Amino acid sequence: MKKNIFEPVTLGSLQLKNRISMAPMTRARNADGIPNNDNAIYYSQRAGAGLIITEGTAISDTAKGVLYIPGLYTAEQVEGWKKVTKAVHEKGSTIFTQLWHVGRVSHTSNQPNGIAPVGPSDIQAATSFAWGYDENGKEGPVISSKPRALSTNEVKDVVNDFAKAAKNAMKAGFDGVEIHGANGYLIEQFLNPFVNNRKDEYGGTIENRSRFLLEIVDAVIEVLGNEKTAIRLTPYGGLGDLPHYDEIESTYQYLAKELTKRNLAYVHLMDQQSKGSHALPDGFLERFRSWYDGTIILAGSMTREKSEKLINAGTIDVAGFGEPFISNPDLVERLENNWELTPPDRNLYYGLGNQGYTDWETYKKN
């Protein structure tokens, strides 16, 4: 029987009112790093989605690579997020937060006291930009600073930071957390042998380069349980100066089988072609489905037609929509009725204030 993406669905322990998720998108609206009433309005406006995944949320004060992003490492931030989760739950939606450490894709102006960002190695993301302050104090895109390699003990400290942020997410009322293992950030940096040149237990073989990711997953599961733990991955991505390597396919096959054992809430795949990077190769989604036995979300240039085709083929379970949700707070209703979408304004994606944030209108019939 053909599945309707607009009907309620049970996926593991998730009870979703439809098969549409709002993908995580950095909006940089929190000068003090503490979520507020404006964030609550923004997310509740978009709670037509069965699942909302928040913007990337910093797990520590050294995890950031963008100005004005919220965190989940202080009591004040927990209290701020409570406003968001309450507002979304009142609209009948489910909300996960995305836990984020950017690693080397950061700038000294994003770091406490101007220290160097950290990574698996000291190899710089020399053509990738953070969002910080230049030498003249002007805000904008800045080339990522040269990182400092994490020591073995410091790697374990970062694993603990993810677990602490997950514990704070529960205090804040989230239904679960999505670990950000994608888009060229710290976890994916460990997976890539061109960036990870470590000689310790976190470098070398596929198993060793995957160890950091799996230790984070296990640490979060220990705090939340597997049914509230999820992860985002970008196989074949190229963001953050991550070159392709010969073992991509075998790396993600290994991860898929390891993650299957852990019975997560979901694995969230993103096709980076929508970000101007590499597309997923033909057939990869089907191969990943054969390796991974749980719920799969796919994001990246999704349409109603594409999502229905993939869901009804059994390739994915939930369709993730990102940018269309920015300028169409009622996106689910628009998709269901085939109403025209309002195009977003990229000039208003980031920065303080509510213009381009909470002021988008719902569809009006003529």
- Name the 3-class secondary structure at 71: strand
Buried b (16+ CB within 10 A) or exposed e, 53-76: bbbbbbbbebbbbbbbbbbbbeee
Q: Are 42 and 324 in contact (CB under 8 A)?
A: no
The H-or-E segment that residue 51 falls in is strand 51-58
Longest dimension (CA), the chain: 65
DSSP string, 210-261: HHHHHHHHHHHHHHH-GGGEEEEE-TT--TTT----TTHHHHHHHHHHHHHH
* DSSP-derived pairing of the beta strands 176-181 and 94-100: parallel
* DSSP-derived pairing of the beta strands 9-11 and 14-16: antiparallel
185 tagged catalytic? yes
Considering the candidates 43, 68, 185, 266, report the single residue annotated as catalytic. 185
> Among all residues, which ones are annotated catalytic?
185
